[in-house]
Structure 1
Amino acid sequence: MTHDNGTTTTHDGTGAGDEKAAQSGNGRAPSRRSLLGWGGAGLALGAVTAGGTAAALRTGGDAQPAGADATAGSAVAFHGKHQAGIATAVQDRLHFASFDVTTDDRDELIALLKEWTKAAARMTAGDAVGDGAVGGLAEAPPDDTGEALGLPPSRLTLTFGIGPTLFEKDGKDRFGIKARRPEALIDLPQFPGDNLDKTRSGGDLCVQACADDPQVAVHAIRNLARIGFGKVAIRWSQLGFGKTSSTTPEAQTPRNMFGFKDGTHNLAGTDTAALDKHVWVADGAAKGKESWMAGGSYLVARRIRMHIETWDRTSRKEQEDIFGRDKGEGAPVGKKNERDTPHLKSMLPTAHVRLAHPDSNGGIRILRRGYSFTDGTDGLGRLDAGLFFLAYQHDVREGFVPLQKRLAANDALNEYIQHVGSAVFAVPPGVRHADDWWGRELFA
C-alpha cells in the first residue's frame, strides 16, 4: 500500500523505494541519531533488510496485518482501526505498567494523553521522543532517556487501557466521565483461591509494551512515566519474557514455566471473523455512552504465581493428567500433534484443557497474550515465578469471568498456582491519524 508521504509498504510491513524509504513518517530525512542507530543495528542483527529498515523509520498509515510476523527489528504501524499489540503477532518481551492518575485536572489529563500518544507513535517507529537523548539544550534534561539509542524498533507496540477507577473513585466523578463507563468494564469478582495483593492490582490507566528487545520495551514505559511525572505515577509493573501464547497458529506454541504448551487453540491474529466475534467491540454493541469503545476491546491482566518447587516434585504422568496434554509434543491425550482436535472425554474431568476448551464453555473464546516471569525469590528460597496472563475479549462478562469461575472451582492445576494480582481495563480503538490521541472518543 502507498502512504501519504509516497512510501510503499507491503502487507508484511516492509518497504519499497530506495529514495522515498529514506524518509521518516513525518516527511523529514532521518536524523543523524537514526542513521547512527541503524548502523549499529545492522551490526547487531545482521539480518535487517533495507526494506525492513525503511519500514522501521516510518510510522505508517495503516495497521500491520494482525497476524503478520514482521521481520526482526522492524516497526509495527501505530495508527489503525484497532490498537496494535492485541492481534499483532506476539513479541518476545513485555513491560506492562499500571498507572494511578495523580492530578484532578481534566484538561491536564487530556494534555498528557495527547503527549503520550505522540511519544508512543515516535517510539514504535524507532524514533526518539522529542529532540532525543542528545538534542536540545545541554543545560536541560534530554527529551528521551536514551537507553534505546541505536536500537531498532524491535516490533514495539504500545497498547493503552483505562481502568474502572478513572471513571469513579471513592464515590467521586473525577474527570466528568462517570456516566460514560461501559457496562462491560466491571469490577472483577473474587474468585475461589484468589490471594490478591492490592499493590499489584488495579490502576487508573495501563500501557502494555511488547517488543522483541527487552530494552526497547523498558525504554518505552520509562519515557511515558517520565513524561507523566506529576500527573501519573506507576502503581505496579511487570516484566515478562518467553511468550506463553501465540496469535500465529502456523508456529509452535511456546511453553510456560511448567514446561507445557497451553492455549494451543488461541485466536489467530489473521482470523478477522473470529476477532470480530470474540475480541473487538462491535459498532452496534457500542451505543450511547459506550460508543467510544467501538473497535476497542477489554483486557484482563492476572499475575499468576506458580509453585515451581512443588510442581518439580510431581511425576510426569500426573503433570500430563493435570494439563490433559503430553509434555513432549503438547498433543492432547490420545492424540499425536499439539493442534489435533482433543477428545475431551478421554481426559480427567479436572484436566485443564478439558475445562478451558470452548466446547466445555458454550463456545467462549478469548485472545491470550501471556508471558512468563521470574522476579527473584520470595525470601524462603522459592522462585517468585509464574505466568502474567493477558486476555482480550469483547466483553469481560462473557469471556474471562465465566471461564475463570469454572477453572477456579474445578481445575486440578489450582494446587500448583495462585492468582496474586488482578486488573481490568477498557482498551479504546486505535489511533486513526496524526491528530488523534488515546482516549479522544471518551473525552470528546
Structure 2
Amino acid sequence: MSRRRFLGYVGGGAAAGIAGGYAVGRAVGSDGSGGGTGGAGGLPDSWPFHGTHQAGIVTPAQDRMHFAAFDLRTDSREELVGLLQEWSAAAAAMTQGQVVGEPVGAYDAPPDDTGEALGLPPSRLTITIGLGPSLFETADGVDRFGLADRRPAALEPLPHFPADNLDPARSDGDLCVQACADDPQVAVHAVRNLSRIAFGRAAVRWSQLGFGRTSSTSTSQATPRNLFGFKDGTANLKVEEEAAVAEHVWVGEGDDPAAGWMRGGSYLVARRISMHIETWDRTSLREQEALIGRDRVEGAPLSGGEEFTEPDFALAGRGGEPLIPVDSHVRLAHPSQNDGVRLLRRGYNFADGTTALGRLDAGLFFIAYVRDPRTGYVPMQTRLSRDDALMEYLQHTGSGLFAVPPGASEGGWVGEGLFADQSVRRGGSGLSQRRSEGSLGP
C-alpha cells in the first residue's frame, strides 16, 4: 500500500508480512491493490521490483537519483547472503510505497523505517543492486567469500584512462545501489534505509546525488540537456529497441561459462565527470557547437537536418573541412566509430556546491549499462580520453564498474543465482527482523 494509506491502516491493526527473510510492513486495501497504476504521462505510479531483469535499467529514466557504493565490513558469506536477501525484500516494499520493517515496533526501540517518505507516493522508485570486482577477489588476491571462481571475466576494474584524475574515495566498492525516482526524498529514503539495514555488514564508501536526467531511455521521453546546455543522449538506446537492447545490454547465454548466473544481467559503468563550467561559459557558441558536433538549440548534427537525423561525417564545408569536426564528441562517440557498439545511458547532472577555488563543483554523473565493458565501453572511452576535444572542459574524478545480476523472482532475491549451487545458512544476529533459517540453496 502507499505510505499515505499506511497511516490510516496502522490504527486498524495492519498485519506484518515476511518477505525473503526480512519483515516488511504491509497492508492491502479492499481492492487488493498495492499501489496506483495511472501516473502522469501514461506511466504507472510504481514499477515492480521483481522481474526477469532488474528495474532501473531500461525503465524510463526518472528525474532524480541517489547512487551509493558500499564496502563490506564482514567476511562471512552467510552475512553477505543475508544482506542481499534483506535488501531485496526492503527494495520490493519501498518501490511499491510500503514501509520497511514492522509497521509499529517497540516504543523503546528505533522504528524500522526512517519515516521521511511516509505520506509520499512511490514516485516510480526503482532500486538496482550491483556487485563490484572486489566482492569476488581483493586487489591482493584474497577470495573473501569463496566466489573467485564465479567472478565474470568482464568484471575487472576499469583501467586508468588518459586524463583521468580519479579520487579513490569516489571510486569502486564491493556493492552498489542505484535508486532513481521522480521525488528526491523517495530516492534518498531508499538508500538511507538500505544503508541502515546493512549496519555492521556494509558501510557506504561513497555516494552521489543526481538531478535532471541526462538521457532518455524511452521514445516517450524528450531528450534532456546537460549542464553545458546541450541535448544529451540523442542516440541513446531506447527500451522500444528490443533487439538492440538484447544485443548491447543484456548478458547472453554462453557469454561467460564460468558466470552463467549473470545471464539476463548487465554491467554498470559509473563515472563522475566534473565540468569546467566557468571556462565553458566563456567559450563562443561556434566553438561549443564544434566541440559537441551538434547545434545547441535543436540538437541537430552540424551536417544538417533535425535532432534525430543521422550525422553525415563525410559532408564537407568551407575549405573542404568536415562540417562535423573530426575531434568532436558526437563523431568519436558514434557507433560508426566504435565497431557498432551502443550504450544504454542513465546519467544525471550533479551540483555539489563549490570547490576550494570558488568554482562550481558540478558536472555529469555518467551511468551506462553494457553487455560487456571490455568491448562496449573501454575502447570507446580510451578513444574519447585521447582524441575528444571536449576533454579540455572535463575531468573524470570518480569511477566504478559493477556486475548487475538479473532480476529476482517473487520471493527471491538479487544475486541468488551466484549462490545457487551452495548451501548457506543465515545468522541470527543484527536487526530484530533477521530470522535464523535453513539452507538458502536450491
Counterpart of 2:294 in structure 1 is 325
Query: Which residue identity does 2:34 align to in structure 1?
Result: L
Counterpart of 1:405 in structure 2 is 382
State which of 412, 418, 430 in structure 2 corresponds to 1:442: 418
Query: Which residue identity does 1:385 align to in structure 2?
Result: A
Counterpart-to-counterpart distance in 2, 1:59 and 1:430: 22
Cα displacement string for residues 398-435 of structure 1 (whole angstroms, at most 9, x for unaligned residues): 1110110111111010000010000000000001112x
TM-score scaled by structure 2? 0.85
Question: Contact 1:91/1:210 (CA < 8 Å) preserved in 2?
Answer: yes
Residue 220 of structure 1: how far off its partner (Å)? 0.2
Counterpart of 1:210 in structure 2 is 180
Counterpart of 1:43 in structure 2 is none
Q: Does 1:372 align with 2:372?
A: no
Query: Which residue identity does 1:439 align to in structure 2?
Result: G
Counterpart-to-counterpart distance in 2, 1:107 and 1:59: 37
Question: Contact 2:342/2:376 (CA < 8 Å) preserved in 1?
Answer: yes
Residue 340 of structure 1: how far off its partner (Å)? 1.0
Question: Contact 1:56/1:153 (CA < 8 Å) preserved in 2?
Answer: no
Task: Provide the aligned length of Structure 1 versus Structure 2.
Answer: 390
Counterpart of 1:241 in structure 2 is 211
Q: Does 1:221 align with 2:191?
A: yes
Judge which range, 247-256 or 105-114, deviates more: 247-256
Query: Which residue identity does 1:270 align to in structure 2?
Result: E
Cα displacement string for residues 307-365 of structure 1 (whole angstroms, at most 9, x for unaligned residues): 00000000000000000011111111032321111112331110100110001111010
Residue 58 of structure 1: how far off its partner (Å)? 4.7
Q: Does 1:145 align with 2:121?
A: no
Matches within 5 A, 1:142-291: 142-169=111-138, 170-287=140-257, 289-291=258-260
Cα displacement string for residues 84-135 of structure 1 (whole angstroms, at most 9, x for unaligned residues): 0000000000000000000111101111111111000000011000124xx1
Question: Contact 2:179/2:190 (CA < 8 Å) preserved in 1?
Answer: yes
State which of 308, 319, 328 in structure 2 corresponds to 1:351: 328
**305 and 248 in structure 1: CA distance in 2 versus 1, 3 angstrom threshold:** same
Query: Which residue identity does 1:256 align to in structure 2?
Result: N
Q: Does 1:75 align with 2:46?
A: yes
Question: Contact 1:147/1:219 (CA < 8 Å) preserved in 2?
Answer: yes
Question: Contact 1:70/1:155 (CA < 8 Å) preserved in 2?
Answer: no
3-state DSSP class of the match of 2:379?
helix
Query: Which residue identity does 1:336 align to in structure 2?
Result: G
Residue 31 of structure 1: how far off its partner (Å)? 3.7
Counterpart-to-counterpart distance in 2, 1:203 and 1:159: 15
Residue 69 of structure 1: how far off its partner (Å)? 8.4
Counterpart-to-counterpart distance in 2, 1:380 and 1:78: 43
3-state DSSP class of the match of 1:397?
helix
TM-score scaled by structure 1? 0.84
3-state DSSP class of the match of 2:375?
coil
Query: Which residue identity does 1:78 align to in structure 2?
Result: F
- Greater relative contact order (Cα 8 A, min sep 6): structure 1 or 2? 2
User: What percent identity do the matched residue pairs reach?
Assistant: 60
**59 and 301 in structure 1: CA distance in 2 versus 1, 3 angstrom threshold:** farther
Cα displacement string for residues 46-86 of structure 1 (whole angstroms, at most 9, x for unaligned residues): xxxxxxxx8982599xxxxxxx9865671101111000000
Question: Contact 1:73/1:154 (CA < 8 Å) preserved in 2?
Answer: no
**83 and 379 in structure 1: CA distance in 2 versus 1, 3 angstrom threshold:** same
Residue 443 of structure 1: how far off its partner (Å)? 1.8
Counterpart of 2:61 in structure 1 is 90
Counterpart-to-counterpart distance in 2, 1:125 and 1:70: 19
Moved over 4 A (4+): 33-36, 68-73
Question: Contact 1:33/1:149 (CA < 8 Å) preserved in 2?
Answer: no
Query: Which residue identity does 1:193 align to in structure 2?
Result: A
Matches within 5 A, 1:130-141: 130-132=101-103, 135-141=104-110
**316 and 56 in structure 1: CA distance in 2 versus 1, 3 angstrom threshold:** farther
Task: Identify unmatched segments of 5+ residues in structure 2.
Answer: 12-30, 315-322, 421-442
Counterpart-to-counterpart distance in 2, 1:70 and 1:76: 14
**236 and 267 in structure 1: CA distance in 2 versus 1, 3 angstrom threshold:** same
Residue 271 of structure 1: how far off its partner (Å)? 1.5
**347 and 200 in structure 1: CA distance in 2 versus 1, 3 angstrom threshold:** same
Q: Does 1:422 align with 2:399?
A: yes
Question: Contact 2:36/2:44 (CA < 8 Å) preserved in 1?
Answer: no
Counterpart-to-counterpart distance in 2, 1:255 and 1:152: 27
Counterpart-to-counterpart distance in 2, 1:202 and 1:56: 39
Question: Contact 1:33/1:150 (CA < 8 Å) preserved in 2?
Answer: no
Task: Identify unmatched segments of 5+ residues in structure 1.
Answer: 1-23, 37-53, 61-67
Query: Which residue identity does 1:90 align to in structure 2?
Result: A
Counterpart-to-counterpart distance in 1, 2:359 and 2:6: 48
State which of 299, 311, 331 in structure 2 corresponds to 1:342: 311
Matches within 5 A, 1:384-395: 384-395=361-372
